[in-house]
Copies of this chain bind each other. A is one copy, B any other.
Amino acid sequence: MRKYNFYAGPSTLPVEVLEELKETMVDYKGIGMSLIETSHRSKDYEEVHNEAVSLVSELLGLPDNYKVVFLGGGATLQFTMVPANLMIGSKTADYVLSGTWAVSAYKDACKLGNAVAVYDGKANNYTELPSSVKTSGDSSYLHITSNETIGGLQWQNWPDTGSIPLVADMSSDILSRTIPVEKFGLIYAGAQKNLGPAGATLVIIREDLLERSSDNLTAYLNYAIHADKNSLYNTPPVFSIYATMLVLRRMKALGGLGAVEKTNRQKAALVYEAIDQSGGFYKCPVQLENRSMMNIVFTMKDENLENEFIKKATAEGMVGLKGHRSVGGCRASVYNSMPIEGAKALADFMKDFAAGK
């Protein structure tokens, strides 16, 4: 029986997409081989590749001056590539430290230039986002993490950065809601949460920023090369891009980003309601207005109780509810591909579990 999979990533995929991957695995549309065996320069793969690129553009409503690129190496490699490409000479690069992932991005940027932490949530244990951000003046860019997968925080109002490019790590909430794309200079996201299987990383970049990619950069680290070659400078992660294309195609069929966001809000509301109406049995440490729609973190009075909760939930077919090992507690990741029935089942289970104590 299929489980409800609340893993934080890699994470649940639509079962229809898995069925299609299964169907095409040995022979892709009668071509006598799998898509993963064809050249990345073949017509069959290029169609898939270009459809993935177009669907990203269409679903997000990207203006013409944005390029869509698929890379490997995960968001972690982007912690290198963003400063390596976008930092300008001695100018600063501003980072909002909102949790584990933002701090990781910042640490890499510090190794490459003058990175500045314009906000650090350490004092509140990374449970709050700043209500506004003051950039350090004439900086190269401002980096934020739109959703902290571990901490369970999510930006609801985007900071106003004027002419300073806003860069966002959207690994855990890409394409989960509509966004004012024109506010962003660069967006990146590992595939394995809202897009598809691990292996690909999506980068969306405003064309004028490509001019910052220096010729002194080595080839793979250079955004301008990948954008110029339509992500075919070297062999792309074919399977992950193919599966992502199928996920995006399904999102479009479901009605696009607006429809997906509506369901995501309903799913999150179900689980947060179970927390908020538990009379303190479940506690979400995150400031109310910064709560994530994607990663819902909660604790109980002690670890024994949390372990019992996780064990019983697993027995009832709900897996992946353990919080990240660095923070403990529980975490329900309800990405795009988690059906609303999964969120309902979890909310009901939470109510029953609390009532039984």
Bound CA span A182–B166, Å: 49
A97 vs chain B, min Cβ distance (A): 16
Q: B residues within 8 A CB of A317?
A: 32
- Asked if A36 contacts B22 (CB within 8 A), the reply is no
Q: B residues within 8 A CB of A41?
A: 325
Bound CA span A11–B39, Å: 7
In the complex, which of the residues B36, B77, B190, B198 contacts A13, with contact meaning CB atoms closer than 8 Å?
B36
Q: Does A2 contact B (CB under 8 A)?
A: yes
In the complex, which of the residues B5, B108, B237 contacts A198, with contact meaning CB atoms closer than 8 Å?
B237
Indicate the size class of the contact surface on chain A: 35 or more
Q: Does A73 contact B (CB under 8 A)?
A: yes
Which of A10, A32, A243 neighbours the largest number of chain B CB atoms within 10 Å of its CB? A10
Known: A108-B218, A317-B32. A235 touches B10 (CB 8 A): yes
Query: How does the 8 Å CB contact mask read for A109-128 relative to B, with 1 for contact and 0 for none?
Result: 00110000000000000000
Q: B residues within 8 A CB of A32?
A: 1-3, 5, 317, 319
| Least CB separation from A325: chain B residue | B41
Bound CA span A38–B234, Å: 28
- Asked if A74 contacts B235 (CB within 8 A), the reply is yes
Q: B residues within 8 A CB of A26?
A: 15, 18-19, 22
Residues of chain A whose beta carbon lies under 8 Å from any beta carbon of chain B: 1-3, 5, 7-13, 15, 18-19, 21-22, 25-27, 31-34, 36-42, 71-77, 79-80, 104, 107-108, 111-112, 190, 192, 197-200, 216-221, 233-240, 243, 317, 319-320, 325
Counting from the closest, the 5 A-B pairs by CB-CB distance are: A3-B32, A72-B72, A199-B237, A22-B25, A76-B234
